[in-house]
Amino acid sequence: MKPKKPAVRPPKSYPVTETELMFYAAVTLCGIIARALLFPLSSWDLEHFLIPWYETIRDNGGIRAVGMDIGDYTPFYRYFLAFLTTCHIPAVPGIKVFSGIFEFVGAVYAARIAALAFPGSAKPLITYAACFCLPSVLCNSAAWGQCDGIYTCFIIMSLFYLLKERDMLSMAMFGMAFAVKLQAVFFAPFVMVMLMRKKLRLRSILLVPVIYVVMILPALFAGGSFLNLLTVYFRQAGQYGMLNMALPNVWTLLIDVKQPELGQAGVFFAGAVMLCYVWYGAMHNPPGRVTVFETVTAAAVSCMAVPYLLPFMHERYYFTSELLLVLVIMCRPKALWMLPVSQFCAGIGIYGNLFSKERPDLRWLTLLSSAVLCMLCMLWREALGAEKPQQSPNPEHTPPA
């Protein structure tokens, strides 16, 4: 008998060539220059919230002030502002650069996810360029001074480590995202799907609250109230009265309405719909290992559907789904139209907030965002195998061992 040939395994990683490094460096330089040019722009949030918080922490002893009840963000952001004051870094450039660093790291991890599906191709570089230089990403940190890139970076990292079958590290990253901003819960229905499919262990999920508690400990030791630190998100939930805060979602029909009871009922309506999402995803469990296409599409549906259904949502709350759309499009180029449509919707929100201009009727934009969400749902159905795809599945969509 002839001896059996050893099984040929794909390499765990593909080396980046010098030419590719040059292109990555050029794209990074373009992104940095674009951000630098946007730095002079300011926003209402910067002038009325972030800069006063910075000044309060500076005037009360820097790191010793992190226990004070300042603003409505979690202690994570207070630690960062305290670091800026301690190092005598001015507020505006410090805030904008800090968020930009996380946008860079998030783009790198998005490229790593693309490399799992398409090793040795140009798609990781395209993914990196898109995620680092999308207009909504550039404006979020460099012009707006927002920190959506921070929690989104941790969500993308969580997704990457889930694909690598490292569930503890994946949930540690999700815990960090949740410790930064409440909007990380947009990713939670996807996490529930993975838990019900047994792609995540229950003990890994327990890391999320543990990390949140660990992250509030420095503020607690600095004199903060444990109850206030633990319930900051509950106080945020009742902060806004308008049912729609300029996000093109189902609540644009009631954009000028203040009706708390209707909003509270809407939260439970959104919960019921997302439970259907979780049940559908759990019941259609694709055999074998998780695939990049199905995973990123399911995550994108979750991160877009939750703010689409919830009331009280701000105009920038599709931020995470906009980056995940890039990965979905890498897997299914036929869906390329979703990216400019989503950027157009995001651009209208930026236009109204940064320049205090009157926005067009958001109900028309809701039709566009609805089309994007419906397309995402159909692609997820295709990825699950409920609908036979037009082309044979690409074996490279399964991450290498």
Residues 109-118 as b/e (b if ≥16 CB within 10 A, e otherwise) read bbbbbbbbbb
345 part of a folded domain: yes
Please tell me the predicted confidence (pLDDT) of residue 396: 47
Model confidence over 46-55: pLDDT tens digits? 999 999 999 9
Please tell me the predicted confidence (pLDDT) of residue 218: 94
Q: What is the 3-state secondary structure (H, E, C) of 174-205?
A: HHHHHHHCHHHHHHHHHHHHHHHCCCCCHHHH
Tokens 């209402």 locate to 44
218 part of a folded domain: yes
196 part of a folded domain: yes
**Angle of CA points 384, 105, 114, to nearest 5°:** 30
208 part of a folded domain: yes
What's the domain count of the chain? 1
- CA separation for the pair 89, 68 (Å, rounded): 21
Query: 395 burial class (0-12, 13-18, 19+ CB within 10 angstroms)?
Result: exposed
248: left (phi over 0), alpha (psi -120 to 50) or beta: beta
Please tell me the predicted confidence (pLDDT) of residue 390: 42
Please tell me the predicted confidence (pLDDT) of residue 398: 54
Beta bridge partners of 313: 244
Q: Which residues of the chain have pLDDT under 70?
A: 1-14, 237-241, 287-289, 386-401
Please tell me the predicted confidence (pLDDT) of residue 363: 86
Model confidence over 369-383: pLDDT tens digits? 999 999 999 999 999
41 part of a folded domain: yes
Determine what percent of the chain falls in helix, strand and coil, rounding each to the nearest 5: 70, 0, 30
| DSSP string across 118-168 | STTSSHHHHHHHHHHH-HHHHIIIIIT---HHHHHHHHHHHHHHHHTT-HH
3 part of a folded domain: no
- CA separation for the pair 303, 222 (Å, rounded): 35
Asked if 195 and 188 touch (Cβ cutoff 8 Å), the reply is: no
Nearest to 115 by CA among 389, 338, 330: 330
In sequence order, the 6+-apart residues with CB closer than 8 A to the CB of 317 are 183, 186, 247, 307
2 part of a folded domain: no
**Angle of CA points 369, 371, 372, to nearest 5°:** 65
Please tell me the predicted confidence (pLDDT) of residue 14: 61
**Angle of CA points 232, 238, 240, to nearest 5°:** 115
Please tell me the predicted confidence (pLDDT) of residue 12: 53
Asked if 167 and 197 touch (Cβ cutoff 8 Å), the reply is: no
Please tell me the predicted confidence (pLDDT) of residue 155: 98
147 part of a folded domain: yes
In sequence order, the 6+-apart residues with CB closer than 8 A to the CB of 176 are 154, 211, 215
Tokens 């049912």 locate to 243
- CA separation for the pair 145, 140 (Å, rounded): 6
- CA separation for the pair 301, 157 (Å, rounded): 17
Query: What's the domain range around 37?
Result: 18-383
Nearest to 343 by CA among 155, 137, 187: 137
Do the bridges between strand 313-314 and strand 244-245 make them parallel or antiparallel, or are there none, so unpaired? parallel
